[in-house]
Structure 1
Amino acid sequence: MSVSLLKAIVLVLPLFIPDNRASIVLSNDYDSIFLPVVPGSLPAIENPQNNETFSSVLGDLNIIGTMGLRQISWDGLLPNTAGKYSWCLNSTVDATTAINFIRKAQLSYKPIRVAITYANGSEYLNMLATIDKFTYYADNVHDFHYSIGLKEYRKITTEGSLTS
């Protein structure tokens, strides 16, 4: 294969390989933040279904129930200084800003929106959620490590239907 043909393939190849870099955005009515570090593996989305099993004279029966609330959780890193690491996706958010945003959202008693999207625009997740768990600690270089757990929040509309 000639060098020029190989160069052409290398230049065109990125057009056919999707950009799989993801970002996580947390937002509410008044603000939003891009988390600077996305976990290496995107968090699993739990999709429970509220099925019921009961015993009868015919034996055990399984009744299919309604869909439960989706849940998602992950552990992450928040650099103490914005732009501290060149590999961070967003160099404008530091640990204090992110922690204050999450704590303020918890104290507002309102849901937040969590959106996990790829650079090519496709969505991994986009849902309203409550913050069920948020813990964090500082390490010896003053970066913060955190763990967050979110549960889907469904709004009841005036027509009696649910939205998320």
Structure 2
Amino acid sequence: MSPQARLRAVSVPNPYFARAHPADASNPRTIPAAVNVRESAVTTLAARGQLDAAQVAAADRFRALWEAIGGAGASGIDPGRIVVDGGKAREPFNERQVNAGKELARCRVLLGVRGYQLVSLVAGEGHSLHEIAGKEKRARLVAADLLRMSLDDLAVLWRLATRRR
């Protein structure tokens, strides 16, 4: 695949937009940007139209929480262990990491084991549905449906969207 096929032009909020001045050509609200759709599985699914804006926002928030605690390796860290081999001691958890861990625990209770594992693999670790579900189309479709439902639940939990009917 060519590098041009991986990039997609999108409009993003202008970080330099001044609210004190009217929006015009010199002070635009949004600016064009190129997004690599292969950056993560979430951006790929969103670029294909399989995820809506609330689901993408929920996945991004989950990813931020996941990265705050250090990904999958944070669950096995014992901050109170004694370093015997002369290696570098780990820093204790900070307040941000503890809060992220509590929020992820809420997510796990809400989503259940399967939903949480799928969201953590896709949004947290960046695995594609092909890597998770394999080559069988039905398994990928079921995984995509479970991912969308889980992200909808997270969007409602974080008030990013209202529940659909």
Which category of TM-score, normalised to the shorter sequence, fits these structures? under 0.3
User: If each structure's strand is expressed as a fraction of its own residues, which one has the higher value?
Assistant: 1
Instruction: Say which one has the larger Rg.
Output: 1
Q: TM-score, normalised by structure 2?
A: 0.24
The answer to which structure has the higher helix fraction is: 2
